[in-house]
Chains A and B, each alone.
Chain A
Amino acid sequence: MRPVYMISGGVSKFAKSRNRLTFQAMVKEAFSYAMRDCPKLQLEHIDGSIASYFSDHFQGQLMAGIMAHDYLGLCPKPSKRVEGGGATGGLCFQAAYEAVASGRMEVCVAFGFETMSRVRTWKGNELIALASDTNFDYPLGGFYTGYYAMMVVRHMHEFGTTVEQMAKVSVKNHTNALHNPYAQKPMMISVQDVLESPMVAYPLKRLDICLMSDGAACVILASEKAAKRFGKKDIRISGIGTGTDAMRLSDRPHGKVPLLAHESASDYRNMRYPGVHSCRAGRMAAIEAYQMAGIKNPLHDLSFVELHDAYTSSEIQTYEDLGLCKYGEGGMFIDSGAPEIGGTCPVNPSGGLLACGHPIGATGLMQAVFSFWQLQGSIREHFGSAKLQVRNPRRGLIHSHAGTGTYVTVSILERD
């Protein structure tokens, strides 16, 4: 495989409803932004695209991917859709990486979108829950928040994680988003506000859970030669990893922890892993990506992380899967302040899914765009404020997550 560079990106504002535009026009908004930000790149230089959207139910349109591809003026070049639940954006990013790394394309566009405003919130929850086993799981409640609630109840039982620690994640991400103009719901809130918000599924409350959104995002990847030609040979994708696990939470094994370079078997002598408290797919994705990027100690080797915080609890679980701390220490990790802006390794400096919103197919690509701008040092230019700019970032991680941890992707972006 040959080196792959990210040369541009754009995001079309995430909001509860964007019904002034069709999904194609939303994608074009993000794409045009990316093209303007890389002026030497012209449409004729693009070899093809990968489309990212999760649900045919939300779009109410089959083959929506080609409709966005043709709207961008990319016909008759190659294109395809990738889909893997919440990780669709991350999988799309990696599919575009593969198109360039394999030598098939010099320049590949990855675009993603979702129009979740077209159904009511609880209907939307029902449609999302079709991504659980419809024979054994869905008929019991049709509710993903219920599944995540059971995961964190077990996490609390195993490790003593508290609702206050979860609330701190919500406060961090919502207040970070105050400086991100793309975010759907920036909020100045306190731990108390989170704890007093309405209970959705014990112990997850309204402010522990991400939003449904309309929005789009777009990433442009290129070979070394093309990146040089377009004057954007700064940010390289130095590692990719993907892990999987069984669709049904109830099927998860209770075995041994797959170890990262800085861990040892004695760290986890009595742990039954992953059970329902941890995500083996996230750990496997991290192992693959870290090996490729040469990351030995993630907490110190990463300048920041944009991870899939669909729930405050999943951010805590993901600290552990990614090895930012040991399994069981996720709650203490947020207490330590390490993931705050200015901490050892800021996590979700953008505000994450909790505050930016989660238009599913766009989310994983949004993380790539924000990380690209972080590594370029151009947050001020794109956000209109440098408050969220991580200082001298060298390497960033993006993490995209589906189901109850069924597909998970980890990709590493790095300043060359």
Chain B
Amino acid sequence: MKSAFNKKYFTDLKKLKWAHNLKGLKKMPPIVLSRHDETDYIHSYGENSPFFAGLAHNEILGTRCRKCKTKFATPRLSCLQCGTDCNWFLLPKTGRIHSWTKCYFGGESFLKETPYFLILVEFKGVNSLLLSRLKGVKDEKHVEINMEVEAHFSKKPKYEITDLWFEKK
């Protein structure tokens, strides 16, 4: 497999010199090679699976603590406040921007998507937020905290969090 690095990072093994002198070995430059690593995983959403099934049916599911009634926009089946089990409920499809950024870079596999907007969405009466992408906007001058946004869903769901995004309402 061809390395993603420029070959200048690696030792030219054809030109590697052997000192024939044991005393000089501690000064030898390092041998630098390429190593490749690739793994396919079996990934399970476990108890969070209904959320991803919901996105495929144009619904956003949150959770609510059975005891202290805290409502979570990013689902968790165990309450952050009191550790009690939570139940599912349907979130509204509109919310407001709690915070945002425009990313000009990202993790390597996301670079092709740059620039992209990340937003934290707040929903009325819900105690926690939901991280998502904001689409349909190019200029950050048109984005601000408290701006109303509405949910959009992928027509070809991949059962990933990216099946959901928000656009300006």
Contacts and interface: CB of A to CB of B under 8 A. Distances in A.
Query: A and B from one assembly?
Result: yes
Interface of A: 19-20, 60, 120, 122-123, 125-126, 129, 133, 135-143, 145-147, 149-151, 153-154, 157, 198-203, 246, 248-254, 276
Interface in B80-97: 80-81
Nearest to A123: B108
A126 B110 CA distance: 9
18 contacts: A20-B30, A122-B108, A129-B107, A135-B161, A138-B107, A141-B113, A142-B107, A142-B108, A143-B103, A154-B99, A201-B104, A202-B101, A203-B101, A250-B73, A250-B128, A251-B76, A251-B80, A251-B128
B84 to A, nearest CB: 15
Given A250-B129, A276-B98, A141 B106 contact: yes
A126 B98 CA distance: 25
B120 A140 contact: no
A202 B128 contact: no
Given A60-B37, A136-B74, A136-B161, A143 B104 contact: no
Given A126-B108, A140-B131, A252-B128, A153 B29 contact: no
B168 interface: no
Contacts, number: 135
B101 A153 contact: yes
Given A250-B128, A253-B81, A202 B107 contact: no
B107 A200 contact: no
Contacts of A20: 29-30
A136 B102 CA distance: 18
Contact of A200 (B5, B72, B105, B108): B105
A250 B91 CA distance: 15
A157 B131 contact: no
Contacts of A154: 98-99, 145
Contacts of A153: 99-101, 145
Nearest to B81: A253
Contacts of B133: 140-141
A201 B101 contact: yes
B48 to A, nearest CB: 6
Given A123-B108, A135-B48, A250-B73, A141 B103 contact: yes
B90 to A, nearest CB: 18
B45 A135 contact: yes
A139 B105 contact: no
Given A140-B131, A250-B129, A200 B30 contact: no
Nearest to A143: B106
B103 A201 contact: yes
B161 A249 contact: no
A249 B73 CA distance: 12
Contacts of B107: 122-123, 125-126, 129, 138, 141-143
A399 B73 CA distance: 31
Contacts of A200: 103-105
A140 B118 contact: yes
B38 interface: no
Interface of B: 4-5, 29-30, 32, 35, 37, 45, 48, 72-74, 76, 80-81, 98-111, 113, 116, 118-120, 127-133, 140, 145, 160-162
B128 A146 contact: no
Contact of B101 (A136, A139, A146): A146
Contacts of B106: 122, 125, 141-143, 146
Given A142-B107, A145-B105, A150 B99 contact: yes
Nearest to B121: A250
Contact of A126 (B80, B101, B103, B109): B109
Nearest to B73: A250
Contact of A19 (B32, B98, B116): B32
Most A CB contacts (10 A, CB to CB) among B76, B106, B119 go to B106
A141 B131 CA distance: 11
A202 B106 CA distance: 12
A199 B114 CA distance: 12
A251 B5 contact: no
Closest 8 CB pairs of A and B: A142-B107, A126-B107, A149-B101, A250-B129, A154-B99, A122-B108, A150-B99, A143-B106
A154 B48 CA distance: 28
Contacts of B4: 120, 123
Contacts of A147: 118
Contacts of B160: 139
A199 B105 CA distance: 9
A250 B131 contact: yes
B118 A150 contact: yes
Given A141-B133, A143-B106, 13 more contacts: A123-B107, A136-B74, A137-B131, A143-B105, A143-B107, A149-B101, A151-B99, A201-B103, A246-B80, A248-B131, A249-B131, A251-B72, A252-B128
Contacts of A250: 73-74, 120, 128-131
B120 A202 contact: no
B94 to A, nearest CB: 17
Contact of B74 (A129, A202, A251): A251
Contacts of A135: 45, 48, 161
B161 A140 contact: yes
Contacts of B74: 133, 136, 248, 250-251
